[in-house]
């Protein structure tokens, strides 16, 4: 028994080292946003500490402090530390909150890894911390959860302030409301109700130079018409999540209920904020990370339908590989350098 536990721990540590290394390299040199983050590091690491209270209008305190502490160091150290915190927090939470570590790990790697730990590294770390808050909430530690989510939003990424809604997602009664909220939002769009335009008018009356509000205004102001407020990917996810939630409803633990509600909320956000693509995707991705922790139930549901494990494995692998190819490689989240000597 002890040897089995040691083998499991060794396997987890090996996974961490591999993923941490790739996260550092991709975010430093190969991602869509790597040059932007390099510029952030070099611009703010060399400024005096007295500028910190002014600079937090531009970026969150954690990253500014870390950059100043590493003044004179190569920027890859900064990227490495961010990757270390983000990946370790996510893998440790997967080990605690998922029914099957490696199934959740596969979804994380194909669906979220490059998008978050390789590209949006600030929000990625904030999401990791916030979901730990959700985990503590599911175990009855409300004050601890509140403190963790506050820290995630104020010091790591301002967008995670919306994650306070998780305190209303910890029971199954809210699930029906969330399930019906997406088709209602689509119906309102069909009627011509423009939520983004109303939000834009509301925000235009608020005078503030706080970075978070300025960023929100810029997201909302970039409104554009779309032919349809949905995609086949999210239609499939929506109906599949409904089927799986009700199939295993009686055996879900509190954390899984929160995660399912986060998935439904993420889809609702896509329908509600049609037209503001940047804001729509950013907020949706925050809550959609809950999918990682309930993904073993999706695999189990597939297994119940096809009976044969090898067929379920083939379907799952096809889905994960297909998603990674289309939404990561073809989408251009990874940019291969022309000169490998750059490393």
DSSP state of 31: B
Predicted structure pTM score: 0.91
Cβ atoms < 10 Å from Cβ of 107: 24
Which pLDDT belongs to residue 343? 46
Residues β-bridged to residue 334: 31
Cβ atoms < 10 Å from Cβ of 76: 17
Is 107:291 a contact under the CB 8 Å cutoff? yes
Q: What are phi and psi of 31, to 5 degrees?
A: -90, 165
213: Cα separation from own chain's centroid: 21
Is 166:258 a contact under the CB 8 Å cutoff? yes
DSSP state of 139: T
Q: What does each of the 343 residues of the chain score in pLDDT, given as a tens digit?
A: 566 666 677 888 899 999 999 999 999 999 989 999 999 999 999 999 999 888 888 889 999 999 999 999 999 999 999 999 999 999 999 999 999 999 999 999 999 999 999 999 999 999 999 999 999 999 999 999 999 999 999 999 988 999 999 999 988 889 999 999 999 988 887 887 777 777 777 777 777 666 666 666 666 666 666 655 667 888 999 999 999 999 999 999 999 999 999 999 999 998 888 877 778 888 899 999 999 999 999 999 999 999 889 999 999 999 999 888 888 888 788 887 665 555 4
Residues β-bridged to residue 31: 334
Which pLDDT belongs to residue 219? 65
**If you count them, how many residues does the chain have?**
343
Distance in angstroms (rounded) separating the CA atoms of residues 88 and 80: 12
Which pLDDT belongs to residue 188? 83
One-character DSSP codes across 221-268: HS----S-S--HHHHHHHHHHHHHHHHSGGG--HHHHHHHHHHHHHHH
């Amino acid at each position: 028994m002890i040897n089995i536990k040691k083998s499991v721990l060794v396997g987890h540590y090996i996974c961490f080292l591999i993923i941490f290394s790739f996260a550092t390299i991709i975010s430093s040199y190969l991602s869509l946003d790597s040059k932007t983050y390099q510029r952030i590091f070099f611009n703010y690491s060399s400024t005096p500490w007295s500028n910190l209270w002014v600079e937090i209008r531009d970026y969150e305190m954690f990253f500014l402090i870390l950059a100043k502490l590493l003044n004179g160091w190569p920027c890859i150290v900064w990227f490495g530390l961010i990757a270390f915190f983000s990946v370790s927090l996510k893998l440790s939470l997967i080990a605690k909150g998922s029914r099957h570590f490696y199934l959740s790990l596969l979804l994380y790697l194909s669906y979220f890894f490059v998008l978050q730990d390789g590209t949006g590294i600030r929000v990625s770390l904030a999401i990791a911390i916030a979901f730990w808050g959700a985990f503590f909430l599911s175990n009855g530690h409300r004050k601890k959860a509140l403190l963790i989510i506050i820290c995630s939003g104020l010091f790591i990424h301002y967008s995670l302030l919306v994650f306070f809604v998780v305190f209303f997602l910890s029971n199954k009664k809210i699930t029906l409301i969330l399930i019906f909220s997406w088709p209602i939002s689509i119906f309102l769009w069909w009627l011509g109700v423009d939520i983004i335009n109303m939000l834009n008018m509301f925000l235009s009356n608020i005078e503030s130079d706080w970075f978070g509000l300025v960023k929100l205004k810029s997201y909302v102001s970039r409104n554009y018409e779309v032919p349809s407020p949905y995609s086949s990917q999210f239609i499939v996810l929506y109906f599949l999540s409904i089927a799986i939630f009700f199939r295993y409803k009686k055996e879900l633990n509190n954390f899984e209920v929160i995660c399912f509600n986060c998935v439904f909320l993420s889809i609702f956000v896509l329908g509600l904020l049609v037209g503001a693509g940047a804001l729509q995707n950013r907020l949706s991705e925050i809550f959609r990370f809950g999918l990682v922790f309930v993904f073993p139930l999706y695999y189990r549901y597939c297994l119940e339908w096809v009976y044969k494990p090898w067929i379920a494995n083939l379907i799952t692998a096809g889905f994960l590989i297909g998603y990674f190819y289309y939404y990561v490689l073809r989408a251009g989240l990874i940019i291969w350098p022309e000169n490998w000597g750059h490393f």
